[in-house]
Structure formats: C-alpha cells, structure tokens
Chain A
Amino acid sequence: MNRGWMNRTMMMVTGMTLVLAMVLLSGCGGGNNDIQDDPTAGMDTGTQVEDLPPPPVAEDTTDQIPATPDYESMDPSDYGVDDVFFDFDQYELDNEAMGILSSNARAMREAGTVILISGHCDERGTLEYNLALGEKRANAVRDYLVSLGVPKSRLRVTSYGENRPFSRGSSDHAWAQNRRAHFERP
C-alpha cells in the first residue's frame, strides 16, 4: 500500500531533480543566484535523490532579496538621520553636529527623499528673535548638507522658534534638548 505511494514520490522527485539539473546547466552565467549559491544544488545529481531539498518557488526567492525601504513613508530618524543640537544663542555647527550631519548626508543621499529641516530654540529670549534664530540654525544645517552633496532641491527649511519644544520645563537639560535642528518628512 505504501510502496506504490513511495514509488510515485521517488519518481516525481527524480523527475524534478532532472529538471532542476537541466535548469542549472542551461542557466549558467545568468541564472538565478539563489539556486547557484545553494550549496546542495548542482552536486550529486541523480544519486542521492531522497536528500534533495524541495525546488525553490518564486515567492521564496523574492523573500530572500532584501526589500528596498520605502523611504517616503519613513521618518528620517528611522534610516539614520539624527537631529543636531546647538549651543545657547548660537547657530554655528560644532564638531559633533558636523559629524552627525556627515552621517545624515550619507543616509539622505541613499534615501533620495525630500526632507524638512526645522529649526528650534529654547524658551529663553523673545518669540520673534527665536523664530529668526531657528531659521538660522535650519539654514546652517541645510547649507552644510548641500556642501556634502545632498541636493538642495531635496531640503526644505522652516523655523518653529521656541514654539514647539521637544522637552517641557525650564532646566538646562530641557533647554539643551530644545536647541536643535530636526529632520522630518515634509
């Protein structure tokens, strides 16, 4: 009873193996990398039929290729674009900020999406001057990114001044958190 089933199975596996072998032989130099890279493929053809893995199917091969990230729908922080911070009343970039921006520039060139740079300030000082200072910070970041090869057309700039704090409170820590250029999807 089982024997007939086993025989059929053996025949099917043998047949499929032969087909696989033909595919491999005919596909030399331009075929499916996944099959060629399979350490068990292409050897012992026809001798150890019972040990062969099932043939790859289309769905499996696409799953093994890493998907291109959908940068358009991701926050820049998800693909390695990090905020940079500023000293009190300053909009010049320090070494730490320039280091972060170099890394950001690589990620931005890879992603190729439009990014909004928003400039922010701590609560000290006036609303008006902080709007202007926030813009100076965002512009300084944009200019540096452009100098690192990020197309200017992909960078938008705005300033929220002191009006969108990341950290509430009036401590040195909160203030330092709020003096930043932030990257987001426009």
Chain B
Amino acid sequence: MMHRRTVSFLSVVCLLLLATSVSWAQNSEFEIIHTGSAFIKTDVEVNALDVLSGGEASVQASDMLTRIIGNDLILSGMFRIEANAGDSDSLSFEYTVEGTVEGPLRDAAQTGETAPTTISLNLLTWPGRQLLLNKRYRPLPSQLRSTGHHFANEVINALTGERGIAMTRVVFSRSSGEGSDLYAVDYDGEGLLRLTANRVLNLCPNWSPDGSEIAFTSYRDHQQGLFILDTSNGKVRAVTSQEGLNFGADWHPDGKELLVSMSRAGNPEIYRITPEGKVIKRLTVSNAIEISPSWAPGGRDLVFTSDRTGTPQLYIIDSDGAGRRRLTFEGRYNDSAVWSPGGDKIAYATREKNTTQIVVMKSTGEDRRVITDSRWRNCEDPSWAPDGRHLVFASDRSGVFKLYVYDDEEGTFRQLTFGDDPDISPAWSN
C-alpha cells in the first residue's frame, strides 16, 4: 500500500516535468475567450485519438483518454461535449480535441501492464482548425489517467483563463469499526487510495497548499494529537499532542504555519502554530468553545466558531487575533466555516430543526443560501475546490455518510464516494 502511494505521487511529479519539457509553445496570436456566465457553455468536440501503432493497448488508451478529457471538461461546468462528431458540419462546436497514440508498448515485460509510448493531444478551433494547444506525453501505464487530466486542465486554461481542477484530489476520513482511516480520491471519484491503517480514529485531514503534506488529528493512547502525513512517502510525524484537544488544522496559504484549535489552556482556543508544533500566537482567550478556524485566501483574516454567546456562531478576526466581528446572526448553530479560494464566499454547516445543512454566503455575511434541504438529511464539513465553484461535503442522505460535490454556479450535485462505510471530513486539494 505504502509503495503504491509513493509511486503514485512521484509519478504525477514526473509527468508534470515531462509535459512541461515537451510542450510546444502556444500560438500567441490566439485570443483567450472567457466564458464568464455559468450558463453559457462552450461546445467542444472530443474525438477518438488516432492509433498510429501499439495495437489493442493503444486503442484502449485512446478510449480512456477521450473519456477522461471529456468528463473533466463537463465536470468543470464550463463546457458541453460532443464526442466524435465526425464529419457532420451541422454541429455548432467551437473547438475540437484530437490526437494520436503511438506504440510500441512500454514496460510490458517488466510490469505486465501495457501502454503506448507517445501520446500527442491537440486543441484546435473549429471549423478554422487553428492549432491552440499541442501537448506530448510519454506516460507510464499508471500515468494514463493523469495524462488525460493534465491535458484537460490545459484546455480549460487555454479557453477560459481559469485553473482547472482536473488534477485535484479530496482527502477524507472513512470509518471502519472502531477506527477511521484517511483516504484520498481523485476529484472525479477515481483512484481511491488509503493513506492510514492504524486502527484508531484519524479525523479532520487538510492538505498543505502544495499538496505535499496532510495535517490531521488522531489519537495515541487516548490522547488526541495533531499529525502530518508526508504524501510522497506516507510517513506520519507528530506535531503536537498536549493535554486536551488538538484538532481542526488549516494551513496558511504560504504553507509555513497552521491554524489549529487546542484546549491545553483548559478549553478550546485558536492558535497559530508551526508545522513542528511551536506556538506562534494564541488568537483567542475566552471560556467558550473556539474551534474550526479557516484562513481567508490572503492569510490576513480567519473565520472560526465561538459559542461565547451561548450558541456556536461564526466570527472573523485578523491574524493577530484582533478586530473580532460576528459574522452569523441567523441560525442557532453554525460551524465548520471555510473561506472560498477567491475570498468572496464562505460555506459552513448550520443546524435546522434536527438536521445539519450546508450554507453558502458572501464573506460579508450577505446573500445567505441554504444549498441543501431535509432530503439530504445531515450535511457537514464543506470544503471548496480551488476553482471556488465546487464544494465537497458529507451527507447521510443515503443512510450512511458519503461525499457529494456541489456546483455553486449551476446548483447541481454529484456523488463522489460510494460504498457502505461512512465518509466524513472531506478536504479538497489545491
């Protein structure tokens, strides 16, 4: 398991280096078109790739790549896809994706797996056939999915100027008997990977900004502590486990410090600490419960929960703990706030009657929208995708907590994880 994880993370890095080194210069004359509104979607045709050599393995690679690229473009929310529109000129698509797959097969003798040597992917205007992008990849068999995701991100960036989320992942906690383990899954629900296997509770995971580490909360000898998992080798190190709670870590955007809630002083307070566990600054002082801190994208302000008025409500302070102001006045129970990557929105969990639901509002507190309802039973722990448009959360609408992704432009949902074991505490990578 650990070996597979290492290979997986390293291979992504290798792929990125490779893609960068072989990518051709973009056509500088092309004018980037920003689609702007969510409801105006760009039509893109995704053709089956031409198999130049490599036989059946290359055909399968072609199928997988076109499927992944098409799905990524759809999941971005900004495109409509026409697969293999072929010669029909009645269609209204504006861009087309095509490419080639070449053998001979690589690594077949060593691994038993087969994959083509070279994959070339192109994005062209239609019907003008002006070349906008050409990317060449030389993936290992295990990198085929990443190849498709990488090119999809290139297409999204070229056509919208936005950074795609096709190579992002979601880390979460999956219960099993008395413990719960951390898992990571690709943003499209594929590539599920187990990260811990220590038979205790592993909760509240959160990615470092560069994705190289995951901070999380676990227990050793019944003492709750904060830990950091190195995603390149799976190694876990202890950060802090002073008496009381040590949980709810959120990385500063610079990756050099974390916000965390610790009760070493008797009840939970918000602290800034280094990744080595040294306290930089204590930000709250009260007898109330003060938990669930989340940085604003610039790392100057943070939102957190305090029940100093008798009910848990959201507050904003700056990174010195000053300038406290209350953000929520509606609802008697608000918690788990997360600031959107663009800084314009805050999502959180609120209790309505006997269930918990997800709210999205402006970070000013205006325009409050409850995006789930009682059909979703309980919804908890929202986390924003780096595009600031998609939001993952846990809901037990099926009878067991699973993860769902919400599109805040279109108001649509899709299920991300499946199976019988409860999935909670999702966090979306950058």
- What residues make up the interface of A, taking CB atoms closer than 8 Å to B? 116, 118, 123-129, 131-133, 135-136, 139, 156-160, 163-164, 186
Contacts and interface: CB of A to CB of B under 8 A. Distances in A.
B338 to A, nearest CB: 12
Contacts of A139: 266-267
Contacts of A164: 178, 201
B118 to A, nearest CB: 47
A129 B305 contact: yes
Contacts of B268: 132, 135
A128 B248 contact: yes
A58 B291 CA distance: 63
Given A128-B248, A131-B245, A136 B267 contact: yes
Contact of B292 (A123, A128, A159): A128
A46 B44 CA distance: 117
B356 A124 contact: yes
Nearest to B399: A170
Interface of B: 175, 178, 180, 201, 203-204, 219, 221-224, 243-245, 247-248, 261, 263, 266-268, 289, 291-292, 305, 307, 312, 333, 335-336, 349, 351, 354-356, 378, 380-381, 424-425
Contacts of B267: 132, 135-136, 139
A118 B355 CA distance: 25
A125 B332 CA distance: 11
A169 to B, nearest CB: 11
B312 A135 contact: no
B222 to A, nearest CB: 5
Contacts of B335: 125-126, 128-129
A128 B204 contact: yes
A123 B354 CA distance: 11
Contact of A127 (B221, B223, B244, B381): B381
A161 to B, nearest CB: 9
11 contacts: A124-B378, A125-B351, A125-B356, A126-B336, A126-B349, A126-B380, A131-B247, A132-B261, A136-B289, A158-B224, A163-B201
A129 B380 contact: no
A163 B221 CA distance: 16
A118 B222 contact: yes
Contacts of A133: 289
A184 B351 CA distance: 32
A118 to B, nearest CB: 7
Nearest to A116: B222
A122 B292 CA distance: 19
Q: What does DSSP make chain A's interface, helix, strand, loop or mixed?
A: mixed
A46 B414 CA distance: 97
Contacts of B201: 160, 163-164
Contacts of A158: 219, 222-224
A28 to B, nearest CB: 54
A126 B401 CA distance: 13
A127 B425 contact: yes
A116 to B, nearest CB: 6
Given A118-B222, A135-B268, A159-B245, A127 B291 contact: no
A125 B349 CA distance: 9
Contacts of B307: 129
B245 A135 contact: yes
A128 B247 contact: yes
Contacts of B425: 127
Contacts of B247: 128, 131
A139 B243 CA distance: 12
B180 A163 contact: yes
Nearest to B332: A89
Contact of B291 (A118, A128, A163): A128
A159 B224 contact: yes
B268 to A, nearest CB: 5
Nearest to B247: A131
Contact of A128 (B223, B305, B355): B305
A18 B190 CA distance: 91
A133 to B, nearest CB: 7
Given A159-B224, A163-B203, 4 more contacts: A124-B356, A128-B305, A132-B291, A136-B289
B263 A127 contact: no
Nearest to B381: A127
B249 to A, nearest CB: 11
B180 A129 contact: no
Nearest to B380: A126
A131 B247 CA distance: 9
A127 B203 contact: yes
Contacts of B380: 126-127
A132 B180 contact: no
Contacts of B354: 124
B27 to A, nearest CB: 49
Interface centre among A123, A126, A131 (most CB of B within 10 A): A126
Nearest to B223: A158
Contacts of B245: 131-132, 135, 159
A155 to B, nearest CB: 12
Nearest to A118: B222
A74 B367 CA distance: 57
A48 B266 CA distance: 74
Contacts of A126: 292, 335-336, 349, 356, 380-381
